[in-house]
Amino acid sequence: MNQSKDDASLVLLDFPADGVARITLNRPAARNALNSALRRELKNTFHALKKEDSVKAVVLRGNQTCFAAGADLKEVAQLGSLAVSRLSVLEFWKVIASFNKPLIAAVAGSALGGGCELAQHADIIIAGRNARFGQPEVNVGIMPGGGATQRLVRALGYWRAMHLILTGESIGADEAVALGLASKVVDDDTLDEHVIELARHIASRPPIALRYIKEVTQAGADVALATGLQLERRAFEQLFDTADQKEGMRAFIERRKPNFIGR
């Protein structure tokens, strides 16, 4: 897959480490607001990375001052409900939600509204110290439409999630970690370096195991505990038919670094 270097592109793609792809939102003048064109490019990028076997983990970031400020209100302010439904926004979210490789969000600056929901689609959220998270949709007469009413309740619990959604208030990085909305806080000037190293570490793990871990964890969140445990056990057993399982355990016994090949 080729590296994107065109500054006119709304989504930039590069490969900063072996097995790692990095997606950068590139609409700085609009604070990376999610308009139709940006969503379309982002959807196509995730589609392509899903099919790229050399990519084992993906980083998603904005710029140093803003991750993503939410939906582009200039695009939707005057639309009616039918016109909004024709924007195919739900399809965009489904593509990212079904992405089957580890996804790390590197959040610097504001992650608000749809930007906060975009971060919530990641498996790990690393926040710079200046990051802010929030769902301010109620402040402009609407409500979250990219999954926050469901994902935030599952992640934070009902009362904490409702406090954010009903007030439209934003919170800083430290509070986001304390509440469970982010995984870790790092200094702003080390955010990119930290996230790339984390992604490189994850990408060095066996790809099939990574995929099964993500699939079972996500599927288990919406079923009874007994069903989730059964899904986990079946996936666990199936991994014993992979070459990577044999290599990983052999390397452990022989006290050497494993060489995983994704089979």
Structure tokens at 261: 């090949």
Burial class (CB in 10 A: 0-12, 13-18, 19+), 81: exposed
Non-local (6+) Cβ contacts of 46 within 8 A are 23, 95, 96, 99
Catalytic residue among 57, 68, 71, 111: 71
241: DSSP letter: G
Catalytic residue among 33, 105, 137, 173: 137
Closest CA to 122 of 108, 136, 101: 101
Backbone angles phi, psi at 130, to 5 degrees: -95, 5
CA–CA gap between residue 64 and residue 97 (Å, rounded): 25
8: DSSP letter: T
Burial class (CB in 10 A: 0-12, 13-18, 19+), 56: buried
134 is catalytic: no
117 is catalytic: yes
52 is catalytic: no
Non-local (6+) Cβ contacts of 103 within 8 A are 57, 58, 60, 96, 121, 122, 123, 124
CA–CA gap between residue 158 and residue 133 (Å, rounded): 17
Catalytic residue among 19, 62, 70, 114: 114
215 is catalytic: no
3-state secondary structure of 142: coil
Catalytic residue among 33, 115, 117, 146: 117
Catalytic positions, written as ranges: 71, 114, 117, 137
